[in-house]
Amino acid sequence: MEPLLQTWIRSFLDSLLIERGLSRETATAYGHDLNALAEFLTPAEQSALGDVERKRLTDFLVDGRKQGLRPATLARRLVSLKMFFRFLSEEGVIEQNQAAVLDSPTLWRHLPGILSPQQVDQLLKAPDKKTPKGRRDGALLDLMYACGLRVSELCTLRVDQLHFEEGYIRVRGKGRKERLVPVATATARRVQAYIDHDRPVLVNDPETAGSVLFLSIRGRPLSRQRIWQLIRELGTSVNLPQDLLHPHSLRHSFASHMLSSGAPLRTIQEMLGHADIGTTQIYTHVDQRRLHQVHKHFHPRA
């Protein structure tokens, strides 16, 4: 039977590729670091991740230094640990994140790529509105951007979680935590039209489909991989940059556009479902970067 640690390493790497849109090379490098951790920990520790103490993680980093690993490799190894244990905490696997207190310089913070409002508009208009599949894709993208959803949240979203008359949807996020997210009237109309006219066309077997909102042409719930492919295909069809065509780019764009429009950071944190305000604060860096770019482009003495 596969150790619990290996199971969660695979889930973590999948989330990096599909939800965060990191390159396969980066995910592979993180995988090497975490496999090294698996070899370092005892079988008992691998099966009880919540019992792994901070000193053991520090010992793992020290062991890498004794092996002669380069500073850059050790720095990446620390990032791998912090990201992996934060993932475990968000998934509810561990109660206390022992890696959170390990020091890491701010230069390791990964600033997400975002689409401009015009590029988002292009993407939302890309699906073919003449077919049930195209209208499904349009409703899917619209809801994903309008509510800042993770792709995993979108895949599992059920029809009974939509409360359009009250103007919100109920989202079950990481660690099975629920939150209420406001939804715009125009988006609600588009999704409701899909439910009324197109979803019934896609339902082949009510038992298989269940109450999941977005279905494939075979009547089954869409997978995270399929949604990623859809975004790639549709974005490519309107010539959007390839490095921005992943599910998390819509979530990043939602947060950045909200911040640029003056939304309070705490409000954005609640809508995104971030447990820690520090995770949301990355968008202040993104916005500052955008302001610097605008200043450099338009100011005569920049």
Catalytic residues: 150, 174, 248, 251, 274, 283
Give the span between the Cα atoms of 90 and 82, in whole angstroms.
Answer: 12
| Sign, Cα dihedral of 121, 224, 33, 95 | positive
The pair of structure tokens assigned to 50 is 């919540």
Give the span between the Cα atoms of 225 and 301, in whole angstroms.
Answer: 47
The pair of structure tokens assigned to 18 is 């599909």
**Contact between 275 and 90 (Cβ < 8 Å):** yes
Question: 261 φ, ψ to 5°?
Answer: -90, 0
- In this structure, the number of other CB atoms found within 10 A of the CB of residue 288 comes to 11
Interacting residues of 121 by C-beta distance below 8 A, sequence separation 6+ = none
The three-state secondary structure class of 299 is coil
Give the span between the Cα atoms of 64 and 244, in whole angstroms.
Answer: 34
Write the burial class of residue 248 (CB in 10 Å: 0-12 exposed, 13-18 middle, 19+ buried). Answer: buried
DSSP 113: P
